[in-house]
Structure 1
């Protein structure tokens, strides 16, 4: 007896159409269930990646804001000792924009890697499975 169906394995030629249809139904159910598990796992992975990208992007914005508020005051005052105040503010502001832009690029690349949130592997696997089923049914239909 097989563990899956509870029936003793018989050659395909000795089985009735009803038994073959039942086996096909069982196998299709198992296949769909497995593909859904794969899709779920893939969506969870993409969700985690999107979360990381969004977190890094948000952190970049907060860090740029806090860094700008603190360093602008301190650095501008320090540079104002040797340069005119406007030049000191321009140098420090340009540096903060550059650092914020780099952080934004890193976070954006993480978000792009998670989009679109489709389970591509599961969809491709299901398409391949359906193709194999079609080819198998054509071969058995001719015999």
Structure 2
């Protein structure tokens, strides 16, 4: 192509265009980061609700069984000893459920991978524009 096919641009205009392009890319990157973090925190919140509901339902479901077990053990030993045994069992089960939920919550990676990748691509693009 001939040199005259391209309009002459001044350095100021090129810098202004580069600034506006960079500003647009940065704004889009921030929006992507917001959307990605919202998606991840939403999943984390849902997992947290499952852990809480599971704990409450588990407690409610076993409440009468534990009461019956305590009463049955109280026939063979003092009531306080029966309650201590059943209470220890309930505490162990509760700790296992909480540990399981915590383990699942730890596996959620909050790093916005798409945003990080986009920032890397933007950096490369900016380098190519400046060179």
TM-score interval, smaller chain: 0.5 to 0.7
What's the C-alpha RMSD, in Å, of the aligned pairs?
Answer: 3.5
Q: Residue in 2 aligned with 1:70? A: 64
Given that 1:53 and 1:111 are in contact with CA atoms closer than 8 Å, whether structure 2 keeps it comes out as yes
Alpha-carbon shift at residue 108 of structure 1 (Å): 2.5
Over residues 95-124 of structure 1, what are the superposed CA-to-partner deviations in whole Å (9 max), with x where a residue is unaligned?
867865664355224412334x34232123
- Give TM-score, length-normalised by structure 2: 0.65
Q: Which runs of 4 or more aligned residues in structure 1 lie more than 6 Å from their structure 2 counterparts after TM superposition? A: 78-81, 91-95
Q: 1:1-143 residue pairs with structure 2 within 5 A?
A: 13-17=6-10, 18-75=12-69, 77=71, 100=94, 103-104=97-98, 106-115=100-109, 117-137=110-130, 139=131
* 5+ long unaligned stretches in structure 2: none
With a CA cutoff of 8 Å and minimum separation of 6, indicate the structure with the bigger relative contact order. Answer: 2
Alpha-carbon distance in structure 1 between the residues aligned to 2:54 and 2:115: 34
- Give TM-score, length-normalised by structure 1: 0.61
Alpha-carbon distance in structure 2 between the residues aligned to 1:100 and 1:109: 14
Given that 1:64 and 1:99 are in contact with CA atoms closer than 8 Å, whether structure 2 keeps it comes out as no
* 5+ long unaligned stretches in structure 1: 1-10
Alpha-carbon distance in structure 2 between the residues aligned to 1:50 and 1:42: 12
Count of aligned residue pairs for this structure pair: 127
Alpha-carbon distance in structure 2 between the residues aligned to 1:96 and 1:65: 9
Over residues 25-73 of structure 1, what are the superposed CA-to-partner deviations in whole Å (9 max), with x where a residue is unaligned?
2211110111111101111111111111211222233234333422211
Identify if the C-alpha distance between structure 1 residues 113 and 15 changes in structure 2 by more than 3 Å, giving closer, same or farther.
Answer: farther
